[in-house]
Amino acid sequence: MTEIEIHGTVADGFETVREEFTAAMAASDCGAQLAVRVDGRTVVDLWAGDGVTGDTLTGVYSATKGAATLVVALLAQDGVLDLDEPVARHWPEFATRGKDRITLRDVLSHRSGVIGVDGGLTADELADDRVTARRLAGQRPYWRPGTAHGYGGFVAFAIVGEVIHRITGRSLQQIFEERVRAPFDLDLHLGLPEALETRYREVLPGLADPEELAAFWTSVPGPQSIPGIGYGLNSTPPLDQVAFINTRRVRALGQASAAGVGSARGLAAMYAAAVFGLEGDAPLLKPDTLAEFAMPHSTGTDLVGGPRSQFALGFEAKGLRYPFLSARAFGHAGSAGAEAFTDPVYGIAFGYTRRRFSFNWSYPEHDRLAAAVHRAAAKVDVMRG
Amino acid sequence: MTEIEIHGTVADGFETVREEFTAAMAASDCGAQLAVRVDGRTVVDLWAGDGVTGDTLTGVYSATKGAATLVVALLAQDGVLDLDEPVARHWPEFATRGKDRITLRDVLSHRSGVIGVDGGLTADELADDRVTARRLAGQRPYWRPGTAHGYGGFVAFAIVGEVIHRITGRSLQQIFEERVRAPFDLDLHLGLPEALETRYREVLPGLADPEELAAFWTSVPGPQSIPGIGYGLNSTPPLDQVAFINTRRVRALGQASAAGVGSARGLAAMYAAAVFGLEGDAPLLKPDTLAEFAMPHSTGTDLVGGPRSQFALGFEAKGLRYPFLSARAFGHAGSAGAEAFTDPVYGIAFGYTRRRFSFNWSYPEHDRLAAAVHRAAAKVDVMRG
Amino acid sequence: MTEIEIHGTVADGFETVREEFTAAMAASDCGAQLAVRVDGRTVVDLWAGDGVTGDTLTGVYSATKGAATLVVALLAQDGVLDLDEPVARHWPEFATRGKDRITLRDVLSHRSGVIGVDGGLTADELADDRVTARRLAGQRPYWRPGTAHGYGGFVAFAIVGEVIHRITGRSLQQIFEERVRAPFDLDLHLGLPEALETRYREVLPGLADPEELAAFWTSVPGPQSIPGIGYGLNSTPPLDQVAFINTRRVRALGQASAAGVGSARGLAAMYAAAVFGLEGDAPLLKPDTLAEFAMPHSTGTDLVGGPRSQFALGFEAKGLRYPFLSARAFGHAGSAGAEAFTDPVYGIAFGYTRRRFSFNWSYPEHDRLAAAVHRAAAKVDVMRG
């Protein structure tokens, strides 16, 4: 273990969170940020390692889906989107090859079977949700829609975005900017402006010795398998997740499944704005909307991601992920190790980023940091009374 | 192991059941009764330990659901209940917050998502199915109805009972008394009369040393999680299952999910009356009704109870629980260690009670007792011819 | 390990497949054949052991379902069969006891719950799909149709065949003969002609010492359980799979779930004819038909066969079975150890037979042979350009 300098502050009662963060950084010098709000108030703001400051922006990968789903929830709350209408009602080209009855709810709960295309999507295509959507329109689902679920990691929100575009004439990214990011000046971007590039720090690949790496890759399904397609390995060349977000064009377009760029502060503040309200504003989401999007929709074996998946609607059902949290907790993690969620019952909004992937996509510090935050928040809650 | 005196009798050919019962009591002095009928005839009638006699009545917890489901089956058989109608057709107040299409079949197979309420139900509220029903009416389901299942351990039959009340003007408990309990003088009560209180023996808490208990509770999901809500831990104070049934008001009201009071004889006789007929009467349930209610409806991962759940319709699918039994076996166990089931193919009706909980809700003697009974019954069957 | 002589040939680049076959035969002298085509061309043609030649015909058990499903796919492609119509629309007698809405798709994906009959089907009855169909018509499903799946190993295609008979006036077996077997002179028979009996080699029982056998059978569910019914153990006497196919009448009738007789060459050639075309003909199945039948339909826990089942439509989803294959791979194995599949993406058609059962139905050589074939085919593919 190396000695890593820990920066930032924690509120009274959250000292144990700083201890867990310190222990996590000692175990892995990954360049991380942790920000936590309780009932909207910042109680943890920490960072450490590898060129990272509290202001650093980096790729949050699928934590992006939390931002994208917040847009969906707002539009559903407004009555603009009906989650149970077929996608093809607004996007007729999607109705081919057994996809005519697939709904937004199916897509958001990863039950559509549309997780990629035969022959693969190049990184260039994946960078642009509208290009991806055109390719997906002609594709047959990879399983019978509704009979199983599988994580559509890189493409699900291209479908969602296309429906939003057809209905509203605007992109999911534009709506996020106007209704969520700009009003609260959040450090979380679906489309990083050129002016903020100086704050971007490149994502770094996972470190492993050659034997570890070889063992990992022999355990990974083939590029033409359902998981391979879901993770973009069936294109030529296979998708390189690190290179993807480190490409300026990808960051500029900010595709809504995996190309968000932000900070832990931005992630925590977004969930706080959605659920608890920021700067005196009402929460963006009403209780019924919150509850609807937090309900588990797809659990059990995921044909892409493996056993024990825990999907709510667009979000992950964080109460199933972290059993100490409430049934109402929701959020979304990302493959480089970002984690973000909110627990409306315990008042928590949690944001965590990493610059450096784990080579096997395993992030044990998530469990320990979330548990420490929950314990501290529950204790503060008791004291408040 | 302590020496425990075993009381009662077994028929010829069932000596091995007595041996298994003796071994089980040596392993755990829990105050137990075991009664078994084959084709209606009593072949095992045993009891031992901790102030228990063959006449003792104690809390059978969710074995109560077997009695409640028998009422449902009778009403469905009569054409009074249609299991596939929405609950809200007869109980309009239930139609709120995404519950309008939930059917009785969904509730009976634990697919409704309605397993408790935000903020919790107090023991006083849980004691009364009608009060519980009123609280549930306004609740949003804890997962998308139909997409998963989770055991509604303390509230499922409050919903069922409310529908029965709206349709028939009578309570599930009254119908059980009139059509099932009284005609056969069964020692199984949904609402224990004051006069029988002298035969009631209080349920006892599980024994464990502090380390065992601490380890168990750290493995248990939090009070606000889906399992926590399902087990009533989100109320203030959290539901104390032991204290619950040891409260006279709870026993007097006999809520239909978990507050039945009875004996092993009562449980075995109820299943015998339902399937084989008692005292010369025809079986209460016709073959088609039996088969319908014995069919597995919800298997796999239970969001409340964990992996490998095995639910038929209201009953548990005991052929999945005990692979030596037939596909037609059904019944219901309870959290203090009661177990009750019938196997129409092998002619078995089985009742078992315990006064004392196991601290971790694990009852390995169930498997051994059920296997011994099955082996003996199958052998007798062969000899009969 | 015994020294086994390996016969036959492999094409350049497939030497490693011969090595794996040799290793498999050294581990178990089971009398096996392996035939592989890539893009229709034979690249592996091997056999070894126990009286088996390249021309030997033996029982392929459920690999038969691949042939039967090919007939279904052809009729669906022609518009003769609608997979989503209720079975009872064409076969009204099937509509009893909760089966009125069961579709061919439910049956083909093993979701119907109709896996046998109370009291069992004798081997004589099981030999004849039409007799089996008559018995199934009156049966109640063994679980709520659509809520779970379970492998209908011996009866599923009796239902399918009955629908085909009602619609076309011909048997599934006749259609297979005319449209698939005869045109390509395939060594794969649903109904083995008397004239070919000289090439039939009897299936042999698995070898095990008594302790192994006893341990295996104590782990097997009872004869009246759902798995017991699915495997024909609830008849008197229980179904003996070895004796079944070694009975001339069974081979002559060629019931479509499990009584096919063939060779590895026949299996590989059938899949090649279906997907890649043989002898200059177009493939039998169009791309959309292929894709439809290859889509996973039932995954997760199988109430008959246990966890991790992987069913497409009639076929098994071989991309889930062998993660190195593509999402489009499909086929069907059989209980004596036959394995057959095609991978449209990698150009593979694979056939493997065994004369001798493994006593515990475990065939680890499948994984190694399939992997070796995939590696060799992928390498050849790369060299082709």
CA distance A153 to A230: 6
Tens of each residue's pLDDT in chain A, 385 residues: 557 899 999 999 999 999 999 999 999 889 999 999 999 899 999 999 989 999 999 999 999 999 999 999 999 999 999 999 999 999 999 999 999 999 999 999 999 999 999 999 999 999 999 999 999 999 999 999 999 999 999 999 999 999 999 999 999 999 999 999 999 999 999 999 999 999 999 999 999 999 988 888 888 899 999 999 999 999 999 999 999 999 999 999 999 999 999 999 999 999 999 999 998 999 999 999 999 999 999 999 999 998 888 999 999 999 999 999 999 999 999 999 999 999 999 999 999 999 999 999 899 999 999 999 999 999 865 444 3
Contact C143 B295 (CB under 8 A): yes
Considering only the beta carbons, identify the residue of B299, B323, B345 that sits closest to C148.
Answer: B299
Which residue on chain C is closest to B300 by alpha carbon? C301
B72 pLDDT above the threshold of 70: yes
CA distance C149 to C146: 7
Contact C225 B323 (CB under 8 A): yes
Phi, psi angles (nearest 5°) of residue C338? -65, 150
Within an 8 Å CB–CB cutoff, is residue A328 touching chain B? Answer: yes
B316 pLDDT above the threshold of 60: yes
- H and E: helices and strands count for chain A: 17, 12
Q: What is the pLDDT of residues C59-83, one digit of tens each?
A: 999 999 999 999 999 999 999 999 9
DSSP H or E stretch at residue B283: none
Which is nearest to B234 in space by CA: B308, B126, B134, B360? B126
Q: What is the pLDDT of residues B6-56, one digit of tens each?
A: 999 999 999 999 999 999 999 988 999 999 999 999 999 999 998 999 999
Considering only the beta carbons, identify the residue of C325, C327, C374 that sits closest to A142.
Answer: C327
For residue C381, the distance in angstroms to the closest alpha carbon of chain A comes to 14
Residue C13 has a pLDDT of: 97
Which of C109, C328, C373 should be substituted to probe chain A, the one whose Cβ sees the most A Cβ atoms within 10 Å? C328
Residue A2 has a pLDDT of: 58
For residue A220, the distance in angstroms to the closest alpha carbon of chain C comes to 8
Which is nearest to A60 in space by CA: A273, A263, A350, A269? A263
Within an 8 Å CB–CB cutoff, is residue C304 touching chain B? Answer: no
Residue A219 has a pLDDT of: 84
Residue B311 CB contacts under 8 Å (≥ 6 apart), including other chains: B109, B110, B149, B151, B296, B297, B298, B299, B302, B317
Residue C29 has a pLDDT of: 86
Which is nearest to A159 in space by CA: A122, A206, A105? A105
Q: Which residues of C touch B324 (CB under 8 A)?
A: 221-222, 225
Q: Which residues of A touch B97 (CB under 8 A)?
A: 288, 291
Q: Which amino acid is at C192?
A: L
Query: pLDDT category, C383, cuts 50, 70, 90?
Result: very low
Which residue on chain B is closest to C96 by alpha carbon? B288
Residue B161 has a pLDDT of: 98
Domain boundaries, given as residue ranges, for chain A: 6-384
Contact B323 C227 (CB under 8 A): yes
Residue A279 has a pLDDT of: 86
- Average pLDDT over all residues of chain C: 95
SS3 B20: helix
Q: Which residues of C touch A300 (CB under 8 A)?
A: 300
Q: What is the pLDDT of residues B208-251, one digit of tens each?
A: 999 998 888 888 899 999 999 999 999 999 999 999 999 999 99
Within an 8 Å CB–CB cutoff, is residue B342 touching chain C? Answer: no
- Taking the CB of residue A82, how many other CB atoms lie within 10 A of it? 15
Considering only the beta carbons, identify the residue of A291, A297, A319 that sits closest to B147.
Answer: A297
Residue A385 has a pLDDT of: 35
Residue B379 has a pLDDT of: 82
Q: Which residues of B touch A347 (CB under 8 A)?
A: none
Contact B140 A109 (CB under 8 A): no
Which residue on chain B is closest to C307 by alpha carbon? B300
Contact C327 A97 (CB under 8 A): no
For residue A168, the distance in angstroms to the closest alpha carbon of chain B comes to 26
Phi, psi angles (nearest 5°) of residue A69? -70, -30
Query: pLDDT category, B374, cuts 50, 70, 90?
Result: very high
Within an 8 Å CB–CB cutoff, is residue A113 touching chain C? Answer: yes
Q: What is the pLDDT of residues C15-58, one digit of tens each?
A: 999 999 999 999 988 999 999 999 989 999 999 998 999 999 99
Mean pLDDT score, C100-114: 98
Contact C299 A148 (CB under 8 A): yes
B353 pLDDT above the threshold of 70: yes
B117 pLDDT above the threshold of 80: yes
C273 pLDDT above the threshold of 80: yes
For residue C288, the distance in angstroms to the closest alpha carbon of chain A comes to 8
For residue A114, the distance in angstroms to the closest alpha carbon of chain B comes to 19
A-contacting chains (≥3 CB pairs under 8 Å): B, C
Considering only the beta carbons, identify the residue of B226, B227, B300 that sits closest to A300.
Answer: B300
Structure tokens at B357: 């909980």
Within an 8 Å CB–CB cutoff, is residue C371 touching chain A? Answer: no
Within an 8 Å CB–CB cutoff, is residue A291 touching chain B? Answer: yes
Q: Which residues of B touch C98 (CB under 8 A)?
A: 292
Within an 8 Å CB–CB cutoff, is residue B330 touching chain C? Answer: no
CATH architecture label of B6-384: 3-Layer(aba) Sandwich (3.40)
Which is nearest to C175 in space by CA: C163, C196, C190, C187? C190
CA distance A340 to A323: 16
CA distance B33 to B53: 8
Which of 80-109 (B) contact C at CB < 8 A? Answer: 109
- Per DSSP, which regions of chain B are E strands? 6-10, 32-38, 41-48, 58-61, 188-189, 260-262, 298-302, 306-311, 316-317, 330-331, 339-343, 348-354
Q: What percent of chain B has pLDDT over 70?
A: 98
Within an 8 Å CB–CB cutoff, is residue A292 touching chain B? Answer: yes
Give the alpha-carbon dihedral of C110, C87, C267, C179, to 10 degrees. -170
Residue A144 has a pLDDT of: 94
Which of C303, C304, C308, C309 should be substituted to probe chain B, the one whose Cβ sees the most B Cβ atoms within 10 Å? C303
Mean pLDDT score, B308-335: 96
Contact C142 B295 (CB under 8 A): yes
Mean pLDDT score, B96-102: 97
C-contacting chains (≥3 CB pairs under 8 Å): A, B
The b-or-e profile of C216-225 (16+ CB within 10 A means b, else e) is eeeeebbbbb
Whether residue B145 is preceded by a cis peptide bond, meaning omega within 30 degrees of 0, is no
Residue B50 has a pLDDT of: 83
Residue C329 has a pLDDT of: 98
CATH architecture label of C59-359: 3-Layer(aba) Sandwich (3.40)
Within an 8 Å CB–CB cutoff, is residue B35 touching chain A? Answer: no
Considering only the beta carbons, identify the residue of A296, A346, A374 that sits closest to B303.
Answer: A296
- Average pLDDT over all residues of chain B: 95
CA distance A113 to A304: 10
Residue C222 has a pLDDT of: 95
C210 pLDDT above the threshold of 60: yes
For residue B273, the distance in angstroms to the closest alpha carbon of chain C comes to 22
Residue B368 has a pLDDT of: 97
Query: pLDDT category, C219, cuts 50, 70, 90?
Result: confident
Query: pLDDT category, C384, cuts 50, 70, 90?
Result: very low
Structure tokens at B88: 């809200």
Within an 8 Å CB–CB cutoff, is residue B222 touching chain A? Answer: yes
Within an 8 Å CB–CB cutoff, is residue B143 touching chain A? Answer: yes
Within an 8 Å CB–CB cutoff, is residue A367 touching chain B? Answer: no
Q: What percent of chain A has pLDDT over 90?
A: 91
Q: Which residues of C touch A235 (CB under 8 A)?
A: none
Mean pLDDT score, B277-294: 95
Residue C381 has a pLDDT of: 55
DSSP H or E stretch at residue B221: none
Q: What is the pLDDT of residues C337-381, one digit of tens each?
A: 999 999 999 999 999 999 999 999 899 999 999 999 999 999 865
Q: What percent of chain B has pLDDT over 90?
A: 91
